[in-house]
Amino acid sequence: MVPFKHLPAPSLPLVILVSFVLSLNLSLLFPFLSFASVMAEPSSPSNHSAGTTDQSSPETMASVLYDHYERYREPALQHRRFKHRDIVPLIHQRAAVESVSLSREGVSPEGRAIYRLKTGNGPIQVLLWSQMHGDEPTATMALFDLFRFLAASDEYDDLREEILSKLTIHAIPMLNPDGAERYQRRTAFGVDMNRDALQLQSPGSQILKRIRDETSADFGFNLHDQSIRYSAGMTPKSTIIAFLAPAFDEETSINPVRLRSMKLIAQLDEMLQEFIPGHVATFSDTFEPRAFGDNMQKWGTSTILVESGGMIGDPEKQYIRKLNFLLLLESFVSIARSDYESYTVEQYESIPPNVLRLHSAIFRGVTLPWKQHEFQLDLAVNRSEINTNGATAFYERGVVSEIGDLSTFAGFEEIEATGLRVKSGKVYPDTFATHKDLEQVDVMELLRVGYTAVRVEELPEGVWTRFPLNILGPEAMQPAGPVLRRAANLVFYRDGVPAYAVVNGFVVDLAASEPAVGNALIYR
pLDDT in tens, the chain (524 residues): 444 333 233 333 333 333 333 333 333 333 333 223 334 444 444 443 333 334 444 455 777 899 999 999 999 999 999 999 999 999 999 999 999 999 999 999 999 999 999 999 999 999 999 999 999 999 999 999 999 999 999 999 999 999 999 999 999 999 999 999 999 999 999 999 999 999 999 999 999 999 999 999 999 999 999 999 999 999 999 999 999 999 999 999 999 999 999 999 999 999 999 999 999 999 999 999 999 999 999 999 999 999 999 999 999 999 999 999 999 999 999 999 999 999 999 999 999 999 999 999 999 999 999 999 999 999 999 999 999 999 999 999 999 999 999 999 999 999 999 999 999 999 999 999 999 999 999 999 999 999 999 999 999 999 999 999 999 999 999 999 999 999 999 999 999 999 999 999 999 999 999 999 999 999 99
Nearest of 168, 270, 177 to residue 216 by alpha carbon: 168
Domain boundary (312, 333, 354) is at: 354
Q: How far is CA 268 from the centre of its chain?
A: 19
In a shared domain, residues 314 and 166: yes
Q: How high is the pLDDT of residue 24?
A: 37
- CA 369/CA 376 separation, integer angstroms: 9
- CA 115/CA 175 separation, integer angstroms: 8
- CA 48/CA 64 separation, integer angstroms: 7
In a shared domain, residues 16 and 64: no
- Provide the greatest CA pair distance for the chain: 77
Domain boundary (319, 354, 389) is at: 354
Q: Which domain holds residue 20?
A: 12-26+357-523
Is residue 53 a part of any domain in this protein? Answer: no
C-beta separation of 413 from 361 below 8 A: yes
In a shared domain, residues 266 and 137: yes
Nearest of 383, 406, 407, 394 to residue 502 by alpha carbon: 383
In a shared domain, residues 368 and 316: no
Half-sphere exposure of 57 (CA within 13 A, CB side): 6
- CA 227/CA 302 separation, integer angstroms: 25
In a shared domain, residues 465 and 500: yes
**Helix axis angle, 256-272 relative to 292-299, nearest 10°?**
120
CATH code of residue 440: 2.30.40.10
Is residue 105 a part of any domain in this protein? Answer: yes
Q: φ, ψ for residue 12 (rounded to 5)?
A: -60, -40
Q: How high is the pLDDT of residue 27?
A: 36
Q: Based on the structure, what is the number of domains in the chain? A: 2
Domain boundary (323, 354, 385) is at: 354
In a shared domain, residues 288 and 393: no
Q: How far is CA 139 from the centre of its chain?
A: 11
Is residue 280 a part of any domain in this protein? Answer: yes
Is residue 215 a part of any domain in this protein? Answer: yes
> Count of CB atoms within 10 A of residue 195's CB?
16
Is residue 112 a part of any domain in this protein? Answer: yes
CATH code of residue 324: 3.40.630.10
C-beta separation of 412 from 33 below 8 A: yes
- CA 244/CA 48 separation, integer angstroms: 28
In a shared domain, residues 404 and 337: no
Q: How far is CA 498 from the centre of its chain?
A: 33
In a shared domain, residues 380 and 326: no
In a shared domain, residues 402 and 266: no
In a shared domain, residues 87 and 213: yes
Distance from the first to the final alpha carbon of the chain: 24
CA angle 448, 12, 490 (to 5 degrees): 30
pTM over 0.75, yes/no: yes
In a shared domain, residues 348 and 429: no
Is residue 50 a part of any domain in this protein? Answer: no
C-beta separation of 322 from 72 below 8 A: no
Is residue 320 a part of any domain in this protein? Answer: yes
Q: How high is the pLDDT of residue 392?
A: 96
- CA 477/CA 274 separation, integer angstroms: 50
Is residue 5 a part of any domain in this protein? Answer: no
Q: Which long-range contacts (CB under 8 A, 24 or more apart) does 432-439 make?
A: 432/456, 432/457, 433/457, 433/458, 434/458, 435/459, 435/460, 435/465, 435/467, 435/471, 438/12, 438/467, 438/471, 439/11, 439/12, 439/13
Nearest of 249, 164, 170, 248 to residue 215 by alpha carbon: 170
In a shared domain, residues 321 and 369: no
